[in-house]
Structure 1
């Protein structure tokens, strides 16, 4: 059984970070589409959806979706953390802040068997298949990017894509809580993708802590920080090539 955890910022703060999709109403519609899709997803193993928002924007429209007759599972919508980001680090700082706050304040987080963190604007239609393939016993699941051969991989030469992650509540508390404080530009660690990779690389064993999705689980939706729609154009070609590589060279983290 698993719980979807959506991270959202409806009204981005005025920072130096480029946000191409910045209109709150446009962003809200993106989030509403995703909430609706997760609530209606046909997978009995998905117990509930938790929607986390960090700008304080009203969540009335989000919560109304939980009352829809099409909703197949409960919805929890909560304001947690804030959208402040120190100079020089990426937006992932605020996202990790939301997860930290939720882990300390939400009973639904602590009681979940497995938490699947999804960027709130995006949907992942293949998620049920991915969870089925991973099976029981996984404590952390991410999809790494590191084009080095296995023997040349280190904690410093790869990244974890963070649009979709899965972890148990205990694993998050033991290994990821407070991790955003490691995002230090002066040390070259400004991105959430590299900081998580660096922290968890020593734990990766291909079983309980996994850095490679066994099957592709590609996003649908719009990127928030640049003009891009997933599953179109060159992005679709890359997705198909990566999907093929998972079957032919499963050790490749490309």
Structure 2
């Protein structure tokens, strides 16, 4: 069970800019509402282990839409807003290149991360309503956590993928293995979901690495809408997939789906 203070780092891109054509959920007011609702959820989450929320946005957007002062008044925890212009990626690369840049920026500039050593990275438009239950099941010495799956038959490339919407890092682990290393995605362009296993799998099992959770012990699905196709994470089809995955975690833990 995790017991130590943990920060939520919400990664955000309010204005997709040149990449708007790549996604369906591109309306700026819709995206702003997604981020505002998610921020309100994390600020009000009743879990004393969550010691702060960092909202880090990379399109240089005006963050006054978050109504941060109003949210802070009823908040259970500190809030830090960080904005910068960094929504650029080399041609042909996945959006994850920019997202890693958001986490890097938060590690450099966040006061809350500067005083803490553990954080969840959450895609900022989404919420994870079972995050406290997940923390109850992860070991206190966890250094990294994500939900890995096997590549689907129609997918090429790497055999393992990580669901990157929610990941856990001990800050020292992130700094050692991910910080300022996103350019490794350039030479042989890979999806963010493939890049994470490329980093993690070779170091799995090393004593000095510490505890790595490559499969969530419970199903911890997102609530919200996928940017790529605007699909609802609470649709009937996705709920059915989650029930199957939840059953597999108990009955067939070797079946990573």
TM-score, L = length of structure 1: 0.91
- Would you say 1:99 and 2:103 are equivalent positions? yes
Partner in structure 2 of residue 163 of structure 1? 165
Select which of 221, 225, 230 maps to 1:222.
225
Kindly indicate whether the alpha-carbon contact (under 8 Å) linking 1:117 and 1:164 is maintained by their aligned counterparts in 2: yes
Partner in structure 2 of residue 79 of structure 1? 83
Select which of 65, 68, 78 maps to 2:73.
68
Select which of 116, 127, 130 maps to 1:126.
130
Q: In the aligned structure 1, how far is the partner of 2:224 from the partner of 2:240?
A: 16
* Cα RMSD after superposing both structures: 2.0
TM-score, L = length of structure 2: 0.90
Kindly indicate whether the alpha-carbon contact (under 8 Å) linking 1:81 and 1:98 is maintained by their aligned counterparts in 2: no
Select which of 199, 211, 214 maps to 1:211.
214
Instruction: Call closer, same or farther: CA 1:24–1:16 in 2, change over 3 Å.
Output: closer
Partner in structure 2 of residue 14 of structure 1? 18
Instruction: Call closer, same or farther: CA 1:20–1:205 in 2, change over 3 Å.
Output: same
Q: In the aligned structure 1, how far is the partner of 2:70 from the partner of 2:200?
A: 36
Return the offset for 1:250.
Answer: 2.0
Q: Could you tell me which runs of 5 or more consecutive residues in structure 2 were left unpaired when the two chains were aligned.
A: none
Q: What is the 5 A alignment of 1:229-240? A: 229-240=232-243
Return the offset for 1:74.
Answer: 0.9
Q: In the aligned structure 2, how far is the partner of 1:129 from the partner of 1:174?
A: 28
The count of aligned residue pairs is: 245
Structure 2 residue matching 1:72: 3-state secondary structure = coil
Q: Could you tell me which runs of 5 or more consecutive residues in structure 1 were left unpaired when the two chains were aligned.
A: 149-154
Partner in structure 2 of residue 241 of structure 1? 244
Structure 2 residue matching 1:139: 3-state secondary structure = strand
Kindly indicate whether the alpha-carbon contact (under 8 Å) linking 2:80 and 2:110 is maintained by their aligned counterparts in 1: no
